[in-house]
Each structure stands twice: as structure tokens, then as C-alpha cells.
Amino acid sequence: GDEGKGKLADVLQSDFQYSARYNGGANAGHTLVVDGKRYAFHLLPCGLIQPTVTGVIGNGVVTNLTSLFNERTPLHEGGIDTRGRLKVSDRSHLLFDFHKQVDGLLESRRAGDKLGTTKQGIGPAYASKMTRNNVRVGMLKEDWEVFERYYLSAAEAHEMMFEVEVDTKSELERIKAYRAEMLEEDMITDTVLLVNKAYNAGERILVEGANAAMLDIDYGSYPFVTSSTTTAGGVCTGLGLSPEKIDCRLGVVKAYQTRVGSGPFPTELTDDLSGGDLPRGAPGTEIGAHLQKVGGEIGVTTGRKRRCGWIDIPLLQYSHLINNYSSINITKLDVLDDLEEIKICVQYRRKSTGEVLPAGAMPSTIESLYDVEAVYESMPGWAGKGKLSECSAYDELPTEARNYLDRIEKHVGCPITWIGVGPGREQMVTKGF
């Protein structure tokens, strides 16, 4: 997560007619810098920043209407009008205020074993969906009294189960106002039909994931995960496109590793002063603090400091195994500019037995993941050999930077096509593209 998926989506979007989200909710955090203006996307597909693109919020997304309308306000103020271009699946489940209340309540009850949830209500909303005790967006097209009845039933159930007090009157008033706008703009749509018609007509659809592979509810570092399918398979279930229609899968990863919240982090370099788990002043923590500062590693959605570490090849091999990436985008390579030496975690080794895990293997339990230690290769950095932000072509990168990228390609078994060398949309070097 937090690798810069939004930037790549923005760079590619000009060749696509649709921009779609298929999972998660307002727990995503994509930041785009366009013409010097910074836009933060949480729920909306970031391709909406292109004036001719239709944005789609798929059925696999949990949609909070307050977040949706609050998020698009600065877009409209910046001259990016989304009216008529934003379509929300009638099968998407609504995320209500009481889901956020429950999320915060459950996190507070976890004492020292907090999951690091964004407290945006994502988990409780998916739980309501799976227990068949929630309301879909499509219900907003029914008579208001019908929607109100379903909403009150769900709210009452949460009040009883979690002993929370829900201000149903206030939320219903807001939803009714949002509903009027949505109906006026024809926003509520059968998006399964929409995207399949678009595909069959030869139009191109760019789908963006909300969270990292290691946050996937099935494949991630459970329980330190999100509540949806974040991997490529989620596109099929969360958007309604069949598997053979997914023509290309692009992986996005930083030139170093980051993590927001709790959980195992084998290559971590951050101590408690930087929001990390290492002892204060432990070897390498000055590098972790440097990466965090130079990389601006503060979560867009949470405002929390991101834990930082060396790039983790076993994690990338595992992610590639699940998603079968067509190519990879390495972002923030410029953040490594001032380092004399750069390390790459190339294997996991069990602390308890000394066993080296095979490529693509990932421990399934937190205990076994805490039991692994990183095996490193060291490479010379390119400190003092120029700023990568000034490079506009692959051949302009220092030899050491190109060697670093080549090494990652070899270990992961996937070509690197895009290299981010700065925050702007134009600061992207291409290789073999």
C-alpha cells in the first residue's frame, strides 16, 4: 500500500475511457500532483481527473456517501467537474456512520493488539454485507420510505449488537440530500452492464486497486489486513468482468518498503520515533528516518507515519505469484539518492530453525512471519552522482540505479517498465515501453 498507484493510473489514463474501483472504500489514499495542485483520492477513482473519463465505483466497493461528496468538492473547485461522469454500482453496499462507530469501538477493545484500522468503517460494512444485514446503493432508487425502512433495520441491529447509539435522523437527512443529487445526475447505475458493454465496444477500462496484496483478506498478513480482495482476482468479483477480459496486470511498488499500522515487517528500519517497532536507535534506524522524511511517508487517509525498510523481494515474488504481473512500476527511486549503500532482502530465513524459505513462499500466520529474518544483498548507491528527479530517460539514470533495477527484475522475474523519479506526473522514466 501507499506505493503511488494513483500516479501510474493518472499517467496511463489518457489512453483509457473508463477508470474503475473494485474493492475497499474510503480507506484508499492516492495522491496526484497535477499542474502544481495536489489532489487526494480516497473513494473516487483517480482517473476522474481526466475530463473525458467515466469513473466507476464497482459493486465490490463499500460506499460512504458523505465521503464521496466531500471528496469531489475540491475537484469541482479545481475545475474538474465529475457530474455525469461518475457512476456508482447499484450493487455496491452503503457504508453508514454506525459502521464507523463500530470500527472505532472494536479497535479500542483490542488493547495492545490493534490492527491499525483506518476507522473508516470498512470492516464492519463488509461484515454487514456478508451477514446480509445491510443496504445496497440501488435501494436509493426505490421509494424513500422503502430505503428508510431498510436503513433503520440495519441501524437497529448494530445498536443491539454493539451497544452504540446511532443518530439515524441526522444521517437520513444527509442521505436524502445526497440521493437527490445522485438521481439528478443518473449516478446510480448497473455498472456490470456498463463496463461489459464498454469492453465489448472496444473501449478501454483502467482498474485501480485500493490496497496492497499483503492487505488482501485471504492472501495478506492476516489479521493485519483489510476486509476486501485487493489482488487481481477481485476485479472479477468486484467489477463484474470475467477473467479473460483482464488483459494486463501492473504491479506498483516503491524502491523501498513501507507499512502503515501494526504487523510483521521483516525489513523494517524505523524505531518508535518514526512510528516503527524497532528499539530506539537500533542499527539502520537513521536510514529509516531518512526514507520517511525524504519520501514524505505520512498516510494520506490516516495521517500516520509509515514504517520504512529495505525492499522485500520475497514479498514481491509472492505478490507476483498471485497476480502474474505483466510488468512493474518502481516508484520513489529518487528517495534513495543520498544513500551510499542499498540493501535488498532476497530471502526469508526462519530464526527458529535456520530454514530458508523457497521463492514465492509466504508464512500464513503472524507468529511464523515474526519468526523470519531478512537475508540481504548489498549494492552501492548513487549518492553524489546526480539527482534522479532531473532524469527524463532511462539511459540518464546512474549506472548504480540501473543495476539496482536490474537486480529487482532478476529476483522477481518480471520486467520493470516504469520508474518514478519524483512526485509530478511527468517525473516517470520508461523502460521498454
Chain-centroid distance, C-alpha 280: 29
Residue pair 381/336 in contact by the 8 Å Cβ criterion: yes
Active site residue 2: yes
Residue pair 425/32 in contact by the 8 Å Cβ criterion: yes
Name the DSSP class of 140. G
Q: Please report, in angstroms and rounded to a whole number, the separation of the first and last CA atoms in the chain.
A: 24
Q: Which of 2, 97, 271, 334 is catalytic?
A: 2
Active site residue 30: yes
Q: Are strands 307-309 and 250-254 parallel, antiparallel or unpaired?
A: unpaired
Q: Which of 10, 15, 30, 167 is catalytic?
A: 30
Residue 223: asked if its preceding bond is cis (omega within 30°), the reply is yes
> Which residues have C-beta within 8 Å of that of residue 326, sequence separation ≥ 6?
248, 249, 250, 414
* Helical segments of 141-265, H only: 144-162, 168-184, 191-200, 233-239
Strand, coil or helix: 156: helix
Residue pair 80/52 in contact by the 8 Å Cβ criterion: no
Cell numbers 505483466: residue: 326
391-395 contacts at long range (C-beta below 8 A, 24 or more positions apart): 391/421, 391/429, 392/429, 393/429, 394/419, 394/429, 394/430, 394/431
Residues noted as catalytic: 2, 30
